[in-house]
Chain A
Amino acid sequence: MQIKVRLFATLREGRGKELSKDYPEGISPGGVIQDLEIPEEEVAILLVNGRDGRLDQVLEEGDTVSIFPPVGGG
């Protein structure tokens, strides 16, 4: 199934901004992060379709996963 992955800040280096990838049924954001070789400690904010996501939740066809490293401001 197709999952859209959006990456931000330093996570874009060597990976790009946005990927649309085919993943097997049952894939979780944790699986996507592993596939993209992103160290887990670099994942500070994880969103699925703009809502707070969990590493182990089951993704559905067409979901968008947004991943941010530790960033902030004001």
Chain B
Amino acid sequence: MYGYHGKYLRINLTEGTVKVEKLDLDLAKKWIGGRGLGTKFFVDEVDPKVDALSPENKLIAVTGPMTGTTAPTGGRYMVVTKSPLTGTIASSNSGGYWGAELKFAGYDMIIVEGRSEKPVYVMIEDDKVEIRDASHVWGKVTSDATRTLMKEVPEKSRVMTIGPAGEKQSLMAAVMNEESRAAGRSGVGAVMGSKNLKAVTVRGTQKVAVSDEAGLKEVIKTCNTKIRENGVTGQGLPAYGTAVLVNIINENGAFPTNNFQSSQFATAEQISGELMAEKYLVKKDPCYRCPIACGRYTKVDDIEGGGPEYETIWAFGGDCGVDDMGAIIKANYWCNEMGLDTISTGTTIAAAMELKQKGLLDGEDLGGLPLEFGSAEAIVEWTKKIGMREGLGDKMADGSYRLCDAFGVPELSMSVKKQELPAYDPRGIQGQGLSYATSNRGGCHVRGYMISPEILGLPEKLDRFALEDKAPWTKIFQDFTAFIDSSGLCLFTSFAMGAPDYAALFNAIVGTDLDGNGVLEAGERIYNLERVFNLEAGITPSEDTLPKRLLEDAIAEGPSKGFVNELSKMLPEYYQLRGWGTDGVPSKERKDQLGV
């Protein structure tokens, strides 16, 4: 068996049992791994109508066949569950080293079921797996929990943990690993918290067997050359990290500002990647076997740690009207410590700022804290309040949709399917709007990164305001991404690598004969499986939409002035290309063709 170990752990926290089960290799090859394989297991085992925070929901941490191999960036894993934030299938990806270590321990994934009566953590050391008491780390922030556990688990273990936000079941809670890496989105940390599972530590000493050692070396050489010679992966990301996007998106007038009330931030230079490199960067902070090394490690005053990423800088910066990079670094730090998704946390604070601006928060106890757009103190302090569910932070911890809905103005939540939108205004980038609206986990940029063709010109430049061709491009990006998310590699490799490169890696590792089209077909199969789950979970196609503001209120100033997102002109073609019928439901023929 190559690429996969062919076994996984089933951990039942209600019963306190751990079982090693055999993985069906044909099933694995069909669903690849990671997002695809995790979703297949989840869909087969869990009722789509399940309450996401009940013991009946399951949490799957799953690697891909390339995880733990020598393939570039092969350290990624997915957390698959039903999202308590969106009610959709959730799969949140994380880098760092935990995923590769799970593979070294001899497992392709772990399935966590039930709920423990008391806080526990799981210790994995190759064949030895124990469910242990975690009462001494319950309540601890991410770094403290990680360092405390490191003293009692085998040396060189990797720690995946939740922070206080996950324990308190914030719907924006992340699953953290290596202190600053996050399976960030869709509230997967809340599911872990609902199971009374604080952490999973893992240490392994095994190798991942590959089908064709010599062939793999050659393919990796080719891929590494492409990564090195590509301007984005070879120069831009290594030099500045993702933060370099601040100026690009802002220059295009598509940098949402003050909760998407405008689309260009006058002082963006103050929170740019260039400024971060000049004033705050300590060192690079790369993941397992990554030749790109986009991860940053920054320091301000007495606070230091991993990040911040572009999305984080935008969420706490432009979207909250804050141009204080030091404060953004601190807010990012507290998100890591509390175990919070930085996109949803920053944008929920931005939504609260608009509630305050509109006079809707009168009478609410703000505990003397500011909540005005532009307040550096607000982004740091409210992040802590959200993590601890204190004061208004308790309501904010459930995300911007539920917060704004509680004040009778759900339309002020800049979200899709209740998950907060990331850092690109779809009024100025039309295809990205279609991608947001049709993402299977709600508001998200990494399910079909249309920024690549519409802004960066990769693999070719599209007119960002044009509507034609956006549906086929979005579909291809979504399907391609679903494969990469399943492989165990980082999505950023796709700036330099194409579908045939992933097929070549997959074949050398697993021993198959997939081609570029097979990569896209596997991705499309996964996309449809997720769609079918969401429909069965009660998420109707009417939710394939964008916030009213982005569909009706034209951008008032800047290079994108005068535009709204023209979703209704792109969506019918998209449904047609997917074989979903005019009602957005996958046809039986399409499902049969794909084997869903």
Contacts of B456 in A (CB 8 A): 44-45, 71-72
The number of residues on chain B lying at the interface, defined by a beta carbon within 8 Å of a beta carbon of chain A, is 43
- Give the shortest distance, in Å, between B246 (CB) and chain A (any CB): 9
Give Cα A74–Cα B233 distance, bound, in whole angstroms: 12
Task: Say yes or no: A72-B463 contact (C-beta < 8 A), given A8-B274, A50-B559.
Answer: no
Q: Does B445 contact A (CB under 8 A)?
A: yes
Task: Say yes or no: A9-B273 contact (C-beta < 8 A), given A50-B253, A70-B235.
Answer: yes
Q: Does B495 contact A (CB under 8 A)?
A: yes
Give Cα A12–Cα B241 distance, bound, in whole angstroms: 17
Give Cα A3–Cα B162 distance, bound, in whole angstroms: 52
Q: Are A9 and B240 in contact (CB under 8 A)?
A: yes
Give Cα A9–Cα B238 distance, bound, in whole angstroms: 12
Question: Contact string, B302-313, partner A, CB cutoff 8 A, digits 1/0?
Answer: 000000011100
- Give the shortest distance, in Å, between B240 (CB) and chain A (any CB): 6
Q: Does A49 contact B (CB under 8 A)?
A: yes
Q: Does A31 contact B (CB under 8 A)?
A: no
Q: Are B451 and A9 in contact (CB under 8 A)?
A: no
Q: Are B237 and A73 in contact (CB under 8 A)?
A: yes
Contacts of A10 in B (CB 8 A): 235, 239
Q: Are B247 and A73 in contact (CB under 8 A)?
A: no
Task: Say yes or no: A73-B241 contact (C-beta < 8 A), given A44-B457, A47-B252, A50-B251.
Answer: yes
- Give the shortest distance, in Å, between A2 (CB) and chain B (any CB): 19
Indicate the member of A50, A52, A74 with the most B CB atoms within 10 Å.
A74
**8 A Cβ contacts from A16-74 to B:** 17, 44-45, 47, 49-52, 66, 68-74
Contacts of B588 in A (CB 8 A): none
Contacts of B461 in A (CB 8 A): 52
Contacts of B274 in A (CB 8 A): 8-9, 12, 17
Q: Which residue of B lies closest to A67 (CB)?
A: B251
- Give the shortest distance, in Å, between B297 (CB) and chain A (any CB): 16
- Give the shortest distance, in Å, between A54 (CB) and chain B (any CB): 11
Of A6, A12, A50, A70, the residue contacting B236 (CB under 8 A) is A70
Q: Are A72 and B252 in contact (CB under 8 A)?
A: no
The number of residues on chain A lying at the interface, defined by a beta carbon within 8 Å of a beta carbon of chain B, is 21
Contacts of B247 in A (CB 8 A): 8-9, 68
Question: Contact string, B323-340, partner A, CB cutoff 8 A, digits 1/0?
Answer: 000000000000000000
Contacts of B159 in A (CB 8 A): none
Q: Does B243 contact A (CB under 8 A)?
A: yes
Give Cα A66–Cα B560 distance, bound, in whole angstroms: 15
Q: Are B559 and A72 in contact (CB under 8 A)?
A: no
Q: Which residue of A lies closest to B277 (CB)?
A: A9
Q: Does B232 contact A (CB under 8 A)?
A: yes
Contacts of A70 in B (CB 8 A): 230-232, 235-236
Q: Which residue of A lies closest to B233 (CB)?
A: A72
Of A47, A69, A73, the residue contacting B231 (CB under 8 A) is A69
Q: Does B535 contact A (CB under 8 A)?
A: no
Contacts of B242 in A (CB 8 A): 73-74
Question: Contact string, B434-454, partner A, CB cutoff 8 A, digits 1/0?
Answer: 000000000001100101100
**8 A Cβ contacts from B202-245 to A:** 230-232, 235-237, 239-245
Q: Which residue of A lies closest to B272 (CB)?
A: A8
Q: Does B145 contact A (CB under 8 A)?
A: no
Question: Contact string, B262-301, partner A, CB cutoff 8 A, digits 1/0?
Answer: 0000000100011000000000000000000010000000
Give Cα A23–Cα B243 distance, bound, in whole angstroms: 32
Give Cα A17–Cα B232 distance, bound, in whole angstroms: 20
Task: Say yes or no: A71-B236 contact (C-beta < 8 A), given A8-B274, A12-B274, A50-B252.
Answer: yes
Q: Are A71 and B232 in contact (CB under 8 A)?
A: yes
Q: Does B470 contact A (CB under 8 A)?
A: no
Q: Are A72 and B235 in contact (CB under 8 A)?
A: no
Q: Are B237 and A45 in contact (CB under 8 A)?
A: no
Q: Which residue of A lies closest to B250 (CB)?
A: A50
Contacts of B188 in A (CB 8 A): none
Give Cα A52–Cα B465 distance, bound, in whole angstroms: 10
Give Cα A45–Cα B455 distance, bound, in whole angstroms: 8
Q: Are A73 and B239 in contact (CB under 8 A)?
A: no
Q: Are B236 and A51 in contact (CB under 8 A)?
A: no
29 of the cross-chain contacts (CB-CB < 8 Å) are A6-B251, A8-B247, A9-B239, A9-B240, A9-B273, A44-B456, A45-B248, A45-B456, A45-B457, A47-B252, A47-B559, A50-B251, A52-B464, A66-B251, A68-B248, A69-B236, A70-B236, A71-B236, A71-B237, A71-B244, A71-B245, A72-B244, A73-B232, A73-B243, A73-B245, A73-B294, A73-B310, A74-B491, A74-B492
Give me the interface of B with A, judged by CB distance under 8 Å.
Answer: 230-232, 235-237, 239-245, 247-248, 251-253, 269, 273-274, 294, 309-311, 445-446, 449, 451-452, 455-458, 461, 463-464, 491-492, 495, 558-560
Give me the interface of A with B, judged by CB distance under 8 Å.
Answer: 6, 8-10, 12, 17, 44-45, 47, 49-52, 66, 68-74
The 3 closest A-B pairs by CB, nearest first: A70-B231, A50-B559, A73-B242
